[in-house]
Amino acid sequence: MVERWLSAAESLYGRYIWGRYDIVFLPPSFPIVAMENPCLTFIISSILESDDFLIIDVIHEIAHSWFGNAVTNATWEEMWLSEGLATYAQRRITTETYGAAFTCLETAFRLDALHRQMKLLGEDNPVSKLQVKLEPGVNPSNMMNLFTYEKGYCFVYYLSQLCGDPKHFDSFLRAYIEKYKFTSVVAQDLLDSFLNFFPELKEQSVDNKAGLEFERWLNATGPPLAEPDLSQGSSLIRPVETLFKLWTTEPLDAVAAASSVDITKWRPFQTVLFLDRLLDGSPLPPEVVKKLSECYSSQLDTMNAEIRIRWLQIVVRNDYYPDFYKVRHFLEYQMSRMYTIPLYEDICTGTLKSFALEVFYQTQNQLHPNLRKTIQQILTQGLNPLTTTDTTAVATDTPTVVLEDKPSETANSAISLRDVNVSA
């Protein structure tokens, strides 16, 4: 499998220059999801059971072998260069190996998460810029968020569209890697190379197209100026949208909704997208949650942790007490911060702090000290609205632990890493 992904990456972006490629799976207490060290990708073992997520996380780290490790961003303010390009390359690799529909599905739920984060932060929040300004004393980890990944991806995708054919853009990226490998670059290097590689685009001044200026992409706050066309994902995305509509149209016809599709036949990302939409719609009418539980709860119990945690967040956000014992079981079994933090935050946002305290006191001796400290903060301080977590806001490679120590230093300008819970 990994060999196949590496071969696909090599055919797109040139020879793998690091010799060996190994993966080490780290214990659930490892504070980040994944990290792209040259020759050796670190991945948290909690993701092993989560099918599609494992595929995406490994391919993302493989993509960093070219974008991030071979050519590196010169400053922390240009993190989007590594993450945006790696996310783009990751999606080119999954398009080659798993098809456009799968890639569009994955992109759809990540862009949903981006827009969710945008709502939390506000459109004028400076951390939504691609080129974030790093104030003295601020930990760069604090500035990483879904914009670094997904707004960065959208800009790279936009550039690929400008040249008309993703294969031409692949050629450009191969030349870019060849020119800059083993060096550090800034955005202007990428953009100058791009315009020099496509002189006809330079002549058309595509960098100054009204409303889509390169400068605006880099320095404007808010959502991406353009987003990819995901219509090639409709065979996978449309059934999700149809089912969501059946469950949320009043009056509810639970029999029709329940019998319309067998979600155990779905790809995990389809179930994730469905649950994310329900989470976004929460609180839902109590009758809907009750019927959803009757219909899906036992099926979801057998699925992976990324899916189960989303259902449990729905349970918590809707105060659906009959399934609370499942929340307790999950927290007694899962000791990974990527799952425990969002769930504790959701529980403490509601009226169930005593339930959270009880579970915490039962499990605290099994928790990593950093995680224990973070949960204690959640339990004692309550939540800053800026740091409301969302599992779907999953980034990768994000060193969550660093932020936890000084949550106040950037509380007004940055999203807590606790919030991002992603991979690198």
Q: Of the listed pieces 84-92, 170-178, 248-256, 338-346, which binds Zn ion according to CB under 5 A?
A: 84-92
By CB under 5 A, residue 424 contacts Zn ion: yes
From candidates 397, 414, 419, 420, binder to Zn ion by CB under 5 A = 397
- Which three-class secondary structure state does DSSP give residue 228? coil
CB of 186 to Zn ion, least distance (A): 18
| CA 191 to each of CA 123, 134, 197, 222: distance values in angstroms, whole numbers, following the listed order | 25, 22, 10, 21
Q: Of the listed pieces 161-169, 236-244, 393-401, 410-418, which binds Zn ion according to CB under 5 A?
A: 393-401
CB of 65 to Zn ion, least distance (A): 11
Cα distance between residue 62 and residue 60, in whole Å: 5
Mark whether 178 is an active-site residue. Answer: no
**CA-wise closest residue to 146 among 83, 225, 66:** 83
CB of 267 to Zn ion, least distance (A): 22
By CB under 5 A, residue 78 contacts Zn ion: no
CB of 62 to Zn ion, least distance (A): 11
- Which three-class secondary structure state does DSSP give residue 394? coil
Which CB sits closer to Zn ion, 6 or 383? 6
- Residue of 36, 61, 78, 306 marked active site: 61
By CB under 5 A, residue 195 contacts Zn ion: no
Site string for Zn ion, 52-71 (x = CB under 5 A): --------------------
Rg (the chain; Cα; Å): 21
Which CB sits closer to Zn ion, 157 or 344? 157
396 phi and psi angles, rounded to 5 deg: -120, 165
Cis amide leading into 399 (omega within 30): no
Query: Burial code of 44-63, b = ≥16 C-beta within 10 A, e = fewer?
Result: bebbeebbbbbbbbbbbbbb
Q: Vertex 42, ends 52 and 75: CA angle to 5°?
A: 105
CB of 310 to Zn ion, least distance (A): 22
The catalytic residues are 61
Contact positions vs Zn ion (CB under 5 A): 83, 86, 397, 424
